[in-house]
């Protein structure tokens, strides 16, 4: 489930496990393409993605970090986590 920790909230998950798996796969694919997209859009920026694989937690969590360095010296690291909840944990009930 995507979670934005800087003032954002969590988004709803699809009700069915197949939908949750597709969402997790799509998010992971998008994250993995970030470094190339950043470098293409900003030639003065070097970007590197590191995949920390899956963490052994209650929900299967894929963790990545994206490190960017701009030619004039600015550096930034972003941490991304994609959780794949097991069946029966689709989130809060809907009204």
End-to-end distance of the chain based on CA atoms, in angstroms? 19
Output the average pLDDT for the chain: 75
pLDDT at residue 45 is higher than 60: yes
Summarised one tens digit per residue, pLDDT across range 57-87 is 766 778 888 999 999 989 998 888 777 655 4
79 burial type by CB count under 10 A (0-12 exposed, 13-18 middle, 19+ buried):
exposed
Cα within 13 Å of Cα(31), Cβ side: 22
Strands (E), 38-91: 45-55, 60-70, 75-84
């Amino acid at each position: 489930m995507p979670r934005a920790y800087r003032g954002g909230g969590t988004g709803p998950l699809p009700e069915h496990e197949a939908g949750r798996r597709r969402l997790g796969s799509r998010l992971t694919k998008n994250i993995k393409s970030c470094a190339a997209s950043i470098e293409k859009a900003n030639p003065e920026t070097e970007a590197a993605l590191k995949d920390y694989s899956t963490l052994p937690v209650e929900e299967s969590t894929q963790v990545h970090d994206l490190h960017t360095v701009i030619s004039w010296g600015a550096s930034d690291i972003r941490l991304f986590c994609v959780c794949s909840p097991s069946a029966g944990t689709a989130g809060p009930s809907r009204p």
